[in-house]
Structure 1
Amino acid sequence: TLIQKRWFHLAGSKESSAYLVEGFLSYLSNLSADLHKHVVNCIDINHNTVLHYAISYNNMDVANAILNTNVSNVDQSNAAGYSPLMLAALTVVPTDSNRDLLKKLFTLGNVNAKSTDSTGQTPLMLAVGHGHLETVNLLLSNARCDVNVQDADGSSALMCASEKGQANLFIFLFVVSFVVLLFHLLCCCF
């Protein structure tokens, strides 16, 4: 549709302006709540939403504008099997300016969702595999993040760290896994 093309042109490029995106979203919201939600979540031929592109291009201002609508489906998988949350775990290095946005994204989305590609990896596994220690820490600060989820090969995030030679992440995840196990044992026994 024409609106969809305009939306991807306006908000789905490296040079997209958060100011213009916010204005367009405000206009749509005033027109129709249903249209607003539909446009925010519309997908292109590769099943990407504009949020996928904003995250991929590290355009955190546009990503924040989209998240602030409170209607964005942050768990929408693209044709490659990745949600915006997974792309953030893969590509975004936390900084002072985007840390709050990442926390919000990780809170809104399913941090234990597996990619729909053949690997079935979670955002935590993707961050571990790329050595993003601070992203791993942000994911684990979300109480719902499960360090023991396994991918299609039966590997957990701890095993991914070992396979990728990420010694610091391996030690960190080993300690976290031990604490989780200890917590479960204490809860069951007392």
Structure 2
Amino acid sequence: MNNMDNPNDDMRKALVILFQSWFGAAAEETSKVSSVVAHVKEVKRNSPSLMAFLINLADDNGNTVLHYSVSHCNYSIVSVLLDTGVVDVNLQNNAGYTAMMLASLTAPDGPSGMEVVRRLMELGNTNIRSSQTGQTALHLAVRHGRVVMVRLLLSCGADANIQDKEGITALMFASERGHTHIARLLLERSQCDLNLADKHGRTALSIATKGSHSDTATLLKAHAKARAL
């Protein structure tokens, strides 16, 4: 482990085998939690110093087993990874996405899956921005109409006023898509700045108005009026 920066041929071969075994067992859509548990137990018993390296091992796209497990909604596997205590939930893949960002786009079945997502969000930084777009997990959840995820992210400290590389906030995305219920959540549960404008000078209200989302526009006007009093 002390020579990882300059591995010899034998180490390279060992790393390839390690990668193939780990990702084959844990990163596939059909991966079984029992197999992941077995791998984790074996490493913990025989090579505990290898645990953090293995759990956070990434492929050529920067995706770890945590990224893949979340994408596949294999939340029983995600739970095992979190239980190791060494998983870095804030690791970003080559596109700049964390596992939390990917989770914000999913729709877990049942309370057990949602509880794992909650654990993930509580452990991670909700306000990390994608290196490509500058968007956060909240931006993604709002854009895709994931009401439950929006609510959860806000409860875990997501900042609704963060602007992406185009200057767009989560509220602007809600206004653009006419997600009135999500806009209401953002306004009620966070300190949304209604005066923020994107790089084209558009505010959430002007976006809603131009898109003919009258319900959303009415909601924004009402909140603006109430705050002015």
Q: TM-score range by the shorter chain?
A: 0.7 to 0.9
In the TM superposition, what whole-angstrom CA distance separates every residue of 1:154-175 from its partner, at most 9, and x where no partner exists? Answer: 2221111112221111122122
TM-score under structure 2 length normalisation = 0.74
Structure 1: stretches of 5+ with no match in the other structure? 182-190
Contact 2:145-2:182 within 8 A present in 1 as well: yes
Provide the C-alpha distance between the structure 2 equivalents of 1:113 and 1:55, rounded to a whole number of angstroms: 17
Paired position in structure 1 for 2:186: 173
With over 3 angstroms needed to count, the CA separation of the structure-2 counterparts of 1:180 and 1:68, relative to structure 1, is farther
Which AA in structure 2 matches 1:113? I
Paired position in structure 2 for 1:83: 98
With over 3 angstroms needed to count, the CA separation of the structure-2 counterparts of 1:56 and 1:15, relative to structure 1, is same
Provide the C-alpha distance between the structure 2 equivalents of 1:80 and 1:62, rounded to a whole number of angstroms: 23
Runs of 4+ in 1 over 4 A off after TM superposition: 178-181
> RMSD of the TM alignment (CA)?
1.8
Aligned residue for 1:150, secondary structure, equals coil
1:60 paired to 2:48: no
Shift, 1:179, TM fit: 8.3
Contact 1:41-1:49 within 8 A present in 2 as well: yes
Alignment of 1:106-125 (within 5 A): 106-117=121-132, 119-125=133-139
1:51 aligned to which of 52, 55, 66: 66
Which AA in structure 2 matches 1:134? V
1:126 paired to 2:140: yes
Which deviates more from structure 2 when the two are superposed, residues 170-179 or residues 15-24?
Answer: 170-179
Provide the C-alpha distance between the structure 1 equivalents of 2:185 and 2:51, rounded to a whole number of angstroms: 42
1:103 paired to 2:137: no
Contact 1:74-1:85 within 8 A present in 2 as well: yes
Higher normalized contact order (CA 8 Å, seq sep 6+, divided by chain length): 1
Aligned residues: 179
Shift, 1:177, TM fit: 3.3
